[in-house]
């Protein structure tokens, strides 16, 4: 009957391994490219999930890699680059895209 005890031990170890696998495997896949039509709030949330799986120093570059050409050009003209802090990159993009969503605010 000592086999039962061993089984329980294996089972809890197996659970632990599964939990660890979930943590490593479940690094979120990158969101779709950000365009002027993208729902920014949803994209930003997905982007943050994705960034959690990356090295902090790579965050700004990773965000810029998720921009389509048009938005990337706008970001460059707003002086947003890979050297910019990730939070500032996201704030800048929100401002850039917000100005397209609500053109009447500019009038």
pLDDT, one tens digit per residue, over 31-58 is: 999 999 999 999 999 999 999 988 999 9
Cα–Cα distance for residue pair 44/97, rounded to 1 Å:
12
pLDDT score, position 23: 61
Q: Could you give the dihedral angle defined by the CA atoms of residues 106, 100, 44 and 77, in that order, rounded to the nearest 10 degrees? A: -90
Q: Enter the tokens of residue 7.
A: 């089984």
Would you say 73 and 34 are in contact if contact means Cβ atoms under 8 Å apart? no
- Tell me the pLDDT of the chain averaged across its residues: 83
Cα–Cα distance for residue pair 25/13, rounded to 1 Å:
18
Span 97-106, average pLDDT: 63
């Amino acid at each position: 009957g000592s086999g039962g005890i061993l089984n329980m031990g294996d089972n809890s170890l197996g659970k632990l391994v599964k939990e660890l696998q979930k943590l490593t495997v479940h690094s979120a896949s990158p969101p779709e490219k950000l365009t002027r039509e993208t729902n920014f709030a949803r994209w930003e949330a997905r982007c943050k999930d994705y960034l959690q799986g990356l090295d902090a120093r790579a965050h700004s570059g990773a965000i810029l890699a998720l921009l389509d050409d048009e938005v990337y050009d706008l970001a460059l003209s707003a002086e947003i680059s890979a050297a910019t802090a990730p939070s500032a990159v996201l704030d800048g993009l929100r401002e850039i895209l917000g100005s397209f969503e609500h053109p009447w605010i500019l009038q």
